[in-house]
Structure formats: C-alpha cells, structure tokens
A and B are shown apart, each in its own frame.
Chain A
Amino acid sequence: MQNKTLAELATGLHAKQFTSVELTQMYLDRIARFDKEINSYVTVTPEKALAQAAAADTLLRSGRGGPLTGIPIAHKDIFCTDGIRTSCGSRMLDNFIAPYDASVVTRCYQANMVVLGKTNMDEFAMGSSNETSYYGPVKNPWDLAAVPGGSSGGSAAAVAAGLAPVATGTDTGGSIRQPAALCGITGLKPTYGLVSRYGMIAFASSLDQAGPMARSARDCAMLLQVMAGFDARDSTSLERLVPDYQATLDRDIRGLKIGVPVEFFEQGLDAGVEQVIRDALKAFEARGAVLVDIRLPNSKLSVPTYYVVAPAECSSNLSRFDGVRFGYRCQEPADLLDLYRRSRGEGFGAEVKRRIMIGTYALSAGYYDAYYLKAQQLRQLISEDFVHAFKQVDVIMGPTSPTVAFNLGERTEDPVTMYLSDIYTIAVNLAGLPGMSVPAGFVAGRPVGLQLIGNYFQEARLLNVAHQYQQMTGWHQQVPPAFAR
C-alpha cells in the first residue's frame, strides 16, 4: 500500500477500495513503527490527521472529492501550521505554535489533503545533510549510516521510507533536489515566484521556493497543481495562469534538445555517479532526444556567490528572532542587550550563527560593494549563461549532487566541505529557474539523482521529460529494503 502512487491512492479512495481514515491510519502506524530508525518527523499529528481523514471520507462518499481528497501529506517544519508547533528545526522555535497557516498549507487543506505531521530539517533550512537540526539528524532509509541530504531531509526520508506518500519541501540552494537525489525520490523546485512564500519561514528571500517531493514525476505534478499560483499575501508571487501539469506528461520527447553542461562533469564528480548520469542521458538519446554540449562558464562561481547572498539575506531575516515577541527567551536577562545576545546565542545552533555572522560581516559598513554588490553582479552573469543556453536547448541535464549520500559526521568538521555538496544545484536558485531531481540509479547501494533544469515557467516541460524517463526506467519504483515491510 505504501508504495502506491498518488494517482493509485486517489483511484482507490474514489472507488471506495479503502477509506482515507484507513489510509491515514496505515501511515500513522508506519510512522510509529519505523520513524524511530530515521527521525524524519519532528511532530506527528494523529488526532488532527484522523479528523481530517474522516471529513475527507464524508466528501468522497458523497462523490464531491477532488483529485487529492483524503491523501495524507507531510509538511516540512518550515511551513507555519496554525495550532501545530512550527520549529524550523531550531531550539529558537521549539515552543512556537504558529498562529496562522502558510499559504501552501492552506492550499493543501483546501484540496482536502490530510496532514500527518511536520518533517525534520536542517535548522532554518541551513544545511545539506540534516545534521544541523535541533532534533537530531535524519537517517537515510537506504543506509542508516548515511545522511538523507538537506535541508528537506525529513521530507525526503519520509517519502522514501513510505512514511508519507508525498511531502512539501523548500529549496534555497538545492534543499529539495539534493535530498530527493540522496533518498531516491522525485523533487521539484519551481520557478522563483510560482509558489507562495507566505508563512514559509524565510531564510534567503530572493532564493527560497517551495515545491513537491514525491515518488514520481506524476505525483509531483499533482501536488504542484495544488501548491502553485498567485497569492496576494506574497509580494514576490507572480500573476500567471498555472497550466494543467498532468495534461502534457505524455508528450513525446523525440527531438528534445538536452543541454549537457561541460562544467557539471569536471573534477569533483564521483566516477560512479557520472556513469549513472551518462547512462540516463543515453536512455534519453535512445528515445529520440538530442544531446548538446553546452557551457555555463560562470556556474563555477555559484557556490561563492551563494555564500554571500544567502547569509546576507539570512542575517537580515533572522534578526526578527529577538527573544521578545515569540520563540526562545534566555533565563533572567540582565538587560535588553543581554536578552538579545543570549536568547539568540542559546536559541540558534552553530551553523545558523556562522551564516548570520558571515552575512552581518558582508553587509557591514565598508564591505557592501566587495561582497553583496559583487555577488549580485555575478548572479547576473550566472543567469545570463542559462539564458544563452536555453536559446539552444529545451532542458539542461546533469547530476544533482557530485556524490551519493555521504556518511553521518563525514562533512561536519569544515562547513566549506558541506557547502560543496550543492555545486550543481545552487546556480539554479541564483538564476530563479525551475529544477528537478529524478532517481537514475545507484552507486554502492545509495541512490543517484539526475537533475533536470528548465527555462522560466517550464515546470510542465520538466515534469513531462521526467515522466517520460520514468516510463522508460524503474529507478523511481525502487524501495529501500529495510522499509519495504
């Protein structure tokens, strides 16, 4: 049951083969049974879930259910959920019960989906391994010694282990695509502005985007349909019509021009991962697609550029955590300055503090031109590389991550080593483009993700191409053996 796609679950619910209460209970039972092994949830909401499932069943019985009515979902704990603790993986918000719902959460409720709980994540989404969470690391369902990736590691691991059929994630520098790759699931980061950021706790506002994480491209299409669309409450939300993402999934990909960036296959790429990606590209070629070598010469500067832009924006965004209005407050502050300094010093973990400090430094008097302005200029060049490439090709493909999942603790000593986990995903955020990761094989029993990058608002095309790949291959149907029971 837990290996069924959303479409199959919807069919079963509408045909009354099972009820939403039964389905929801099955997932709650699996969470109770398995989650102590992988720590993918921070909060489970069984009572709310079963009440919502019962309401969904009423709708289904009366024939008024929609495509996702009664389907359970897990939300990354970065989305505010009214009445449910919203921790963002931080001690700072360990006691924070959100007073309102994020727009993404509201839209899922409006689709009559059932919320199973909130998933673990790197603290404030800052990390690539889920090891910066206040609630402890998530473990990779394929190998409990390995990280699940991050920052949406809980969502990725929960879907991979069959503890949720689908989940939400957010992606600032790769935080949907990299954990999707490392856990062997499908994830999509939309064009900047497609999905509302209202109620999504801000990390780097010019980069953050929410997206679906699921077992297939079709499942991602179904959830993106619910998530996407204009929201007046997000000033960066774009007013555009949202296409029917499932309508074009079956489109033939003969003649599709696939750009293969030379820079994505240079030093640093694991040989086994490269082989898997080359094989995937060959499969597309066999299906009638055309591979075109392209260059993204400025992409090599995307990691340094990102580590100015993201910390600068985070230092500004996280200044709201002051120990006064909500969240953690230190014991017995001597004065107001002591209250600020100790509440923030005790409430934030080391990685968050590092990034706030880098951002504070980059934005401090006299350094703005050398850091933030310079980074925004490079961002322009990185973007122009993509604009140029998309004049020649329809989609760009390469690895999502340079290696398969690494071991817990392996990259925690030096933050820069961790940052290089995202060398192929960061440029996409800097340019505001949509990107996906699709399971493409394994190296030493750990999953490899194929990254697909599209032009602005080409989510339907990406989903179409990913779906066609999933018609040719069965990598997305693989299940981690320890959780197949």
Chain B
Amino acid sequence: MSLSRADVERIAHLARLQIDDESIPDYARNLSNILELVEQMSAVDTSQVTPMAHPLDTVQRLREDVVTEDNQREHFQQHAPSVENGLYLVPKVIE
C-alpha cells in the first residue's frame, strides 16, 4: 500500500489538518509504511469471526433522562480563544 501525494492531501483535508507542502513526501512514506504493517492483518481469515464490541461483553449503561449538570458556561468559556456574549467567535461563515 503506497500513498501518493494526492492521497495524503485528500486525507489531510478530511482530517482538517494543514500539512506543509515540503513535508508531504515524508507523510506519504511514513503513512505507507504504517499501512504496510497493517496489511499483515489480511493473513488471517476472519470471515466467520464476530467483531469485538467490548472485551467484557458489557453493554452501555443507561441512566434516567434527568438534568444532572449545572450550566457552567462562563466557567468553561474562560479559556476559549475568542468569546463574546457567551458565544464562541469564529471567522464569518455566511457572507
């Protein structure tokens, strides 16, 4: 499995990661090596195997549908990069 420059650019876009142009060849090489390692998985036939959902076959615990948390908006927003009137600020999305 060998990834091309275009593959790396496509994956980086999906992951919303800016990758410097000059480091794309390094990423392509390293990611290809990792995928080559991962290819070893195909050595075993798993067509009859049920995929693991949880190592202890436990199911997700449910709770009553009631409010358990206080509103701590100001506390949680105090370290946000940019906030105004309790809202997170981002660059304009709609012109």
Binding site for B on A (CB under 8 A): 95-97, 99, 191-193, 206, 232, 235-236, 238-239, 298, 301, 303-305, 307-308, 315, 319, 322-329, 333-342, 344-346, 348, 350, 353-354, 356-358, 360-362, 364, 371, 373-381, 383, 414-416, 419, 430-433, 456
Say which residue of A303, A326, A356 sits within 8 Å of B80 (CB atoms): A326
Instruction: Name the residue among B20, B61, B80 with the largest chain A CB count within 10 angstroms.
Output: B61
Residues of B within 8 Å of A378, CB to CB, are 41, 44, 46, 49
Are B15 and A315 in contact (CB-based, < 8 A)?
A: yes
Chain A nearest Cβ from B48, distance in angstroms: 9
Does chain A have a CB within 8 A of B66?
A: no
Are B44 and A298 in contact (CB-based, < 8 A)?
A: yes
Further pairs besides A414-B33, A416-B37: 14, Cβ < 8 Å: A324-B81, A325-B80, A326-B81, A333-B91, A354-B30, A357-B11, A357-B17, A357-B31, A358-B35, A374-B42, A378-B46, A383-B52, A383-B55, A415-B30
CA distance A138 to B53 in the complex (A): 36
CA distance A97 to B77 in the complex (A): 11
Are A235 and B61 in contact (CB-based, < 8 A)?
A: yes
Residues of A within 8 Å of B23, CB to CB, are 350
Say which residue of A319, A335, A381, A430 sits within 8 Å of B91 (CB atoms): A335
Residues of A within 8 Å of B80, CB to CB, are 324-326
CA distance A171 to B80 in the complex (A): 29
Chain A nearest Cβ from B49, distance in angstroms: 4
CA distance A239 to B61 in the complex (A): 10
Chain B nearest Cβ from A391, distance in angstroms: 17
> Interface size class for chain B?
35 or more
Are B56 and A358 in contact (CB-based, < 8 A)?
A: no
Does chain A have a CB within 8 A of B14?
A: yes
CA distance A337 to B44 in the complex (A): 41
Are A360 and B61 in contact (CB-based, < 8 A)?
A: no
Considering only CB atoms, which chain A residue lies closest to B76 in the complex?
A99
CA distance A475 to B20 in the complex (A): 48
Residues of A within 8 Å of B36, CB to CB, are 416
Are B33 and A374 in contact (CB-based, < 8 A)?
A: no
CA distance A305 to B56 in the complex (A): 18
Residues of A within 8 Å of B15, CB to CB, are 315, 344, 353, 356-357, 360
The answer to whether residues A380 and B51 also contact, given A99-B78, A345-B18 and a CB cut-off of 8 A, is yes
Are B17 and A348 in contact (CB-based, < 8 A)?
A: yes
Query: Secondary structure at chain A's binding surface: helix, strand, loop or mixed?
Result: helix
Listed A/B pairs (17) with beta-carbon separation below 8 Å: A99-B72, A99-B79, A235-B61, A298-B44, A327-B81, A335-B92, A341-B18, A344-B16, A345-B18, A361-B11, A373-B51, A374-B46, A377-B49, A378-B46, A432-B55, A433-B55, A456-B55
CA distance A356 to B41 in the complex (A): 20
Chain B nearest Cβ from A202, distance in angstroms: 16
Chain A nearest Cβ from B81, distance in angstroms: 4
Residues of B within 8 Å of A348, CB to CB, are 17
Does chain A have a CB within 8 A of B38?
A: yes
Are A336 and B90 in contact (CB-based, < 8 A)?
A: yes
The answer to whether residues A345 and B49 also contact, given A238-B56, A378-B44, A383-B55 and a CB cut-off of 8 A, is no
Are B30 and A339 in contact (CB-based, < 8 A)?
A: no
B47-80: which have CB < 8 Å to A?
49-56, 58, 60-61, 63, 72, 75-80
Are B34 and A238 in contact (CB-based, < 8 A)?
A: no
Are B17 and A353 in contact (CB-based, < 8 A)?
A: yes
Residues of A within 8 Å of B53, CB to CB, are 376
Chain B nearest Cβ from A422, distance in angstroms: 12
